[in-house]
């Protein structure tokens, strides 16, 4: 079935037609009876939330958090779209993440098993973490940080990153974490936008065996002298030489350890800002998404407990995200610690010093819950199953995915090779803006469908609508929207109220527009197809980049694929694909067989989706341009495909990738 209506390229509702084959995924993976019997969440959770949504959220907030003052009002939506959740309640985020576990007698439980890239390790209990957070908060206070001040955090994946976030939360000083891989320029913009008073950084961190230079980037960011930064707190990690400004810079190990541990958590109201996190829009300057305390923590803890089936006494949880991304905020720092979990935190890259490093870590700590991104899974597929095969992964019991649509083949590989054909896989859809998971299977309830995030969680309302904002019937595509306010929702864009309204609330008045295309299948399950700007229009047929990518990845020789719509005189847009071959296929390829192979891949896409989706050209590459959070930058590939000068590459993890691809295209 192909949709024959024509629409301007890029404006199309996503995935409305022509895509049936891949979305009629026949494989189902119900939970085992043993898993279902012990699961935190049962089908009853949906009923409870449906019967009384606000009452349900109030229950979660009271059960999962400790409030210094209980709330009487659950939601105030009278000033929509600015929500107030649990508005007259008071609490402290750091108290909830650490102190109360110690008070409850769990101080000896390990909070963080930290693994440095070089193999050095640290084990931190809840009691130790509580004391370190209290000392760091006292140190920040000594440096002049008060409740309400903003603090920028620019750190590698070391325990001090979590400590720094919680120390800010203890004071009620919103943190703004800037990913350690971002440039001095990016840091400068973010420091100024949030008017940060203090920056917390390190001399460096280890990535791919080499120490990175963080402090020099901070020095550059502050060199112009036009920032409000008064102090820079520097953690010693690598021992590299760094430039020093005596009146401004302070070593962490000179100020934090000498503090007492009695700095009390500052009691704040539920709507007190907890953090700002910048996220790139498709264009323009980054948006400072800000979240508040009560609602954000309630939904973080609720989703972490139910989506991952967390048992804090026995599980060892590992989320591979960097704290520079929202996944690191919600599922490294806040969700797991509020729930009293034991977690693994790893500093480095998955292939340092060898391609089995992650699996070695799973074996070593007997990780039971693993949460990672499709791009990482596809990379592991490319490296081959021998790598994980060398390690004992039998401790794993739940696997999660986040960040982009996961191709069904990658999903099935993840479950089979990493999960031993045994573990539930939860494909979790959410955004920096939503604060916490919104759409996901529940591992003990849902019969999982590879490639689909499936159902809004209990308490969450999502739908797929057409151009007019009307819900589409089952079997159709459109735009993903959130139809009711949720506790962890963003409260705005820092300093830019208008942009908040324009970006999220003006496309369909009164409901939140997520910017993603989606399809509702015959069962009512949701398939997120990617950003609406990743939707192509070929001869009036609407095609999703994601589905063509999934078709390519379902071919046994393809490890990873990126597809873009390039403008075409005849068809409006044409499909251009960039593929990375699996190890064996790449090794076997010769000049002569390469052409044949590409013809075979084109035919394969035609067979999987329909001739309309057949790529006009396929270029075999060795790397794809990705942001540091692992998202493919299709905009740059579109530049190559349309033979334009390649645009801004500053947010790429590796900026030389585009040179290699452009060179390949010209051959
Ligand atoms: C958590 C995070 C948000 C965008 C979102 C969507 C994509 C995330 C997804 C997914 C399909 C999933 N996305 N999870 N698409 N299936 N399970 O990634 O936040 O960095 O703000 O990105 O990522 O396009 O709109 P963020």
Question: Ligand 1 atom 3: the closest Cα is on which residue?
Answer: 431
Closest CA to 256 of 118, 141, 394: 141
**528 CA distance to ligand 1 middle (Å):** 9
For residue 630, the Cα-to-chain-centroid distance in whole angstroms is 9
Judge whether 15 and 544 are in contact, CB under 8 Å: yes
Atom of ligand 1 nearest to the CA of 528: 11
327 is in an annotated binding site: yes
User: If you average pLDDT over residues 330-340, what whole number do you get?
Assistant: 98
**439 CA distance to ligand 1 middle (Å):** 11
pLDDT at residue 186 above 70? yes
Give the Cα separation of 330 and 150 in Å (integer): 19
Q: Is the CB of 274 under 6 A from ligand 1?
A: no
**625 CA distance to ligand 1 middle (Å):** 17
> For residue 575, what pLDDT is reported?
93
428 is in an annotated binding site: yes
Q: Is the CB of 327 under 6 A from ligand 1?
A: yes
Closest CA to 18 of 5, 34, 32: 5
Give pLDDT tens digits for 235-265: 999 999 999 999 999 999 999 999 999 999 9
> For residue 540, what pLDDT is reported?
61
Give the Cα separation of 96 and 112 in Å (integer): 16
**Residue 85 CB contacts under 8 Å (≥ 6 apart), including other chains:** 57, 61, 74, 75, 270, 271, 292, 294, 295, 298, 485, 487
pLDDT > 90: percent of the chain: 74
607 is in an annotated binding site: no
Query: Among 303, 331, 480, 528, which residue has the most ligand 1 atoms within 8 Å of its CB, making it the best to mutate?
Result: 528
Question: Residue 375: enclosing H or E segment and its boundaries?
Answer: helix 374-383
**373 CA distance to ligand 1 middle (Å):** 10
**598 CA distance to ligand 1 middle (Å):** 30
Average pLDDT, the chain: 91
Angle formed at CA 451 by CA 481 and CA 658, multiple of 5 degrees: 90
DSSP secondary structure code for residue 405 in this structure: P
Give the Cα separation of 645 and 123 in Å (integer): 49
In this structure, what are the phi and psi dihedrals at residue 300, rounded to the nearest 5 degrees? Answer: -60, -45
Q: Which residue has the higher pLDDT, 19 or 545?
A: 545
Q: Which residue has the higher pLDDT, 361 or 210?
A: 361
Give pLDDT tens digits for 383-392: 999 999 999 9
Q: Is the CB of 404 under 6 A from ligand 1?
A: yes
pLDDT at residue 592 above 80? no
Least confident of 135-139, 220-224, 620-624: 620-624
Atom of ligand 1 nearest to the CA of 325: 20
**402 CA distance to ligand 1 middle (Å):** 6
Least confident of 332-336, 411-415, 646-650: 646-650
Question: Ligand 1 atom 17: the closest Cα is on which residue?
Answer: 429
Q: Which tokens sit at 313?
A: 């006494």
Give the Cα separation of 369 and 346 in Å (integer): 15
pLDDT band at 375 (very low <50, low <70, confident <90, very high): confident
Q: Following DSSP, what letter does each residue of 380-422 receive, concatenated?
A: HHHH-THHHHTS--TT--EEEE-SSPPPHHHHHHIIIIISTTT
pLDDT at residue 222 above 80? yes
**237 CA distance to ligand 1 middle (Å):** 32
pLDDT band at 666 (very low <50, low <70, confident <90, very high): low
pLDDT band at 12 (very low <50, low <70, confident <90, very high): very low
Give the Cα separation of 343 and 317 in Å (integer): 5
Q: Where do runs of H (alpha helix) occur along 224-369?
A: 252-255, 294-307, 326-328, 335-338, 357-365
Give pLDDT tens digits for 101-115: 999 999 999 999 999
Three-class SS string for 563-616? Answer: EEEEEECCCEEEEEEEEEECHHHHHHCCHHHHHHHHHHHHHHHHHHCCHHHCCC
User: If you average pLDDT over residues 296-316, what whole number do you get?
Assistant: 98
429 is in an annotated binding site: yes
Q: Where do runs of H (alpha helix) occur along 243-328?
A: 252-255, 294-307, 326-328
Q: Which residue has the higher pLDDT, 125 or 22?
A: 125
Give pLDDT tens digits for 486-541: 999 999 999 999 999 998 999 998 899 998 899 999 999 999 987 776 667 676 66
Give the Cα separation of 307 and 415 in Å (integer): 16
558 is in an annotated binding site: yes
pTM of the model: 0.86
Q: Is the CB of 381 under 6 A from ligand 1?
A: no
DSSP secondary structure code for residue 104 in this structure: I
Q: Is the CB of 627 under 6 A from ligand 1?
A: no
Q: Which tokens sit at 450?
A: 């590879």
User: If you average pLDDT over residues 573-593, what whole number do you get?
Assistant: 81
662 is in an annotated binding site: no
> For residue 355, what pLDDT is reported?
96
Closest CA to 445 of 539, 309, 301: 309
Q: Which residues of 106-124 are buried (b: 16+ CB within 10 A; e: fewer)?
A: bbebbbbbbbbbeeeeeeb
432 is in an annotated binding site: yes
Least confident of 98-112, 162-176, 275-289: 275-289
**Residue 273 CB contacts under 8 Å (≥ 6 apart), including other chains:** 174, 290, 291, 292, 293, 491
Q: How many CA atoms lie within 13 A of 348 on its CB side?
A: 23
**Which residue matches tokens 């409305």?**
16
Judging by DSSP bridges, how do beta strands 558-568 and 572-581 pair with one another?
antiparallel
476 is in an annotated binding site: no
Q: Is the CB of 326 under 6 A from ligand 1?
A: yes
Q: Is the CB of 430 under 6 A from ligand 1?
A: yes
User: If you average pLDDT over residues 133-139, what whole number do you get?
Assistant: 98
Give the Cα separation of 249 and 230 in Å (integer): 9
> For residue 379, what pLDDT is reported?
87
pLDDT band at 23 (very low <50, low <70, confident <90, very high): low
**ipTM reported for the complex, 2 dp:** 1.00
Atom of ligand 1 nearest to the CA of 427: 17
**436 CA distance to ligand 1 middle (Å):** 11
pLDDT band at 281 (very low <50, low <70, confident <90, very high): low
Atom of ligand 1 nearest to the CA of 428: 17
> For residue 7, what pLDDT is reported?
30
Question: Ligand 1 atom 5: the closest Cα is on which residue?
Answer: 431
> For residue 11, what pLDDT is reported?
31
From residue 46, alpha-carbon distances to 43, 447, 519 in Å are: 6, 15, 22
Question: Residue 157: enclosing H or E segment and its boundaries?
Answer: none
> For residue 590, what pLDDT is reported?
67
Give pLDDT tens digits for 83-92: 999 999 999 9
3-state secondary structure of 518: strand
pLDDT at residue 667 above 70? no
> For residue 284, what pLDDT is reported?
47
pLDDT at residue 665 above 90? no
**2 CA distance to ligand 1 middle (Å):** 27
Question: Ligand 1 atom 10: the closest Cα is on which residue?
Answer: 404
Closest CA to 557 of 595, 519, 513, 587: 587
pLDDT at residue 18 above 70? no
pLDDT at residue 1 above 70? no
Q: Is the CB of 454 under 6 A from ligand 1?
A: no
416 is in an annotated binding site: no
Give the Cα separation of 621 and 665 in Å (integer): 10
> For residue 126, what pLDDT is reported?
98
**403 CA distance to ligand 1 middle (Å):** 4
């Amino acid at each position: 079935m192909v949709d024959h209506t024509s629409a301007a390229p890029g404006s199309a509702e996503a995935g409305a037609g022509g895509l049936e084959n891949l979305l009629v995924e026949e494989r189902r993976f119900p939970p085992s009876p043993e898993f279902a019997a012990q699961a935190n969440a049962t089908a009853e959770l949906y009923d409870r939330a449906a019967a009384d949504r606000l009452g349900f959220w109030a229950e979660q907030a009271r059960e999962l958090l400790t409030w210094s003052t209980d709330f009487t009002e659950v939601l105030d939506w009278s000033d929509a779209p600015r929500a107030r959740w649990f508005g007259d309640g008071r609490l402290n985020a750091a108290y909830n993440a650490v102190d109360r576990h110690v008070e409850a007698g769990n101080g000896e439980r390990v909070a963080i098993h930290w693994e440095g890239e070089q193999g050095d390790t640290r084990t931190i209990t809840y009691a130790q973490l509580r004391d370190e957070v209290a000392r760091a908060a006292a140190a920040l206070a000594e440096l002049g940080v008060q409740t309400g001040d903003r603090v920028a955090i620019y750190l590698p994946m070391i325990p001090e990153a979590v400590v720094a976030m919680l120390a800010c939360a203890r004071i009620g000083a919103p943190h703004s974490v800037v990913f350690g891989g971002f440039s001095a320029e990016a840091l400068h913009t973010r420091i100024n936008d949030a008017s940060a008073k203090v920056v917390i950084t390190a001399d460096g961190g280890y990535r791919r065996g080499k120490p990175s230079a963080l402090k020099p980037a901070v020095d550059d960011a502050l060199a112009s002298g036009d920032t409000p930064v008064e102090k820079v707190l520097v953690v010693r990690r690598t021992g590299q030489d760094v430039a020093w400004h005596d009146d401004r810079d302070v070593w962490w190990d000179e100020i934090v350890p000498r503090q007492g541990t009695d700095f009390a958590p500052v009691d704040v109201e539920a709507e007190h800002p907890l953090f700002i996190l910048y996220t790139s829009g498709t264009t323009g300057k980054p948006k400072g998404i800000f979240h508040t305390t009560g609602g954000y923590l309630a939904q973080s803890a609720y989703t972490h407990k139910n989506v991952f089936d967390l048992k804090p006494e026995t599980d060892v949880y590992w989320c591979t995200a960097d704290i520079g991304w929202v996944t690191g905020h919600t599922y490294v720092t806040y969700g797991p610690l509020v729930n009293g979990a034991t977690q693994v935190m790893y500093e480095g890259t998955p292939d340092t010093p060898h391609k089995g490093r992650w699996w070695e870590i799973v074996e070593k700590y007997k990780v039971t819950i693993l949460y990672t991104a499709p791009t990482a899974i596809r990379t592991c597929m490319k490296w081959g199953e021998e790598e994980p095969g060398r390690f004992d992964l039998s401790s794993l019991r739940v696997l999660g995915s986040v960040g982009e649509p996961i191709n069904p083949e990658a999903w099935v590989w993840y479950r089979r090779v990493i999960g031993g054909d045994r573990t539930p896989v939860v494909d979790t859809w959410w955004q920096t803006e939503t604060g916490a998971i919104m759409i996901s299977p529940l591992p003990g309830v849902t019969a999982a469908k590879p490639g689909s995030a499936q159902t809004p969680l209990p308490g969450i309302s999502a739908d797929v609508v057409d151009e007019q904002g009307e819900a589409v019937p089952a079997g159709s595509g459109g735009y993903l929207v959130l139809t009711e306010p949720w506790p962890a929702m963003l409260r705005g864009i820092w300093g830019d109220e208008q942009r908040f309204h324009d970006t999220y609330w003006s496309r369909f008045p009164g409901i939140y527009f997520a910017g993603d295309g989606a399809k509702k299948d015959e069962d009512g399950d949701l398939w997120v197809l990617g950003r609406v700007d990743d939707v192509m229009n070929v001869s009036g047929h609407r095609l999703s980049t994601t589905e063509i990518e999934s078709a390519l990845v379902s071919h046994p020789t393809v490890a990873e694929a990126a597809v873009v719509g390039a403008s075409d005189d005849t068809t409006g847009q044409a499909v251009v694909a960039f593929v990375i071959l699996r190890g064996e296929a790449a090794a076997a390829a010769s000049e002569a067989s390469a052409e044949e192979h590409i013809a075979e891949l084109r035919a394969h896409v035609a067979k999987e989706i329909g001739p309309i989706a057949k790529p006009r050209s396929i270029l075999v590459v060795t790397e794809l341009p990705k942001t540091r959070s692992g998202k493919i930058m299709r905009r740059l590939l579109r530049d190559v495909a349309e033979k334009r000068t390649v645009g801004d590459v500053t947010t790429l993890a590796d900026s030389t990738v585009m040179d290699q691809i452009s060179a390949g295209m010209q051959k």
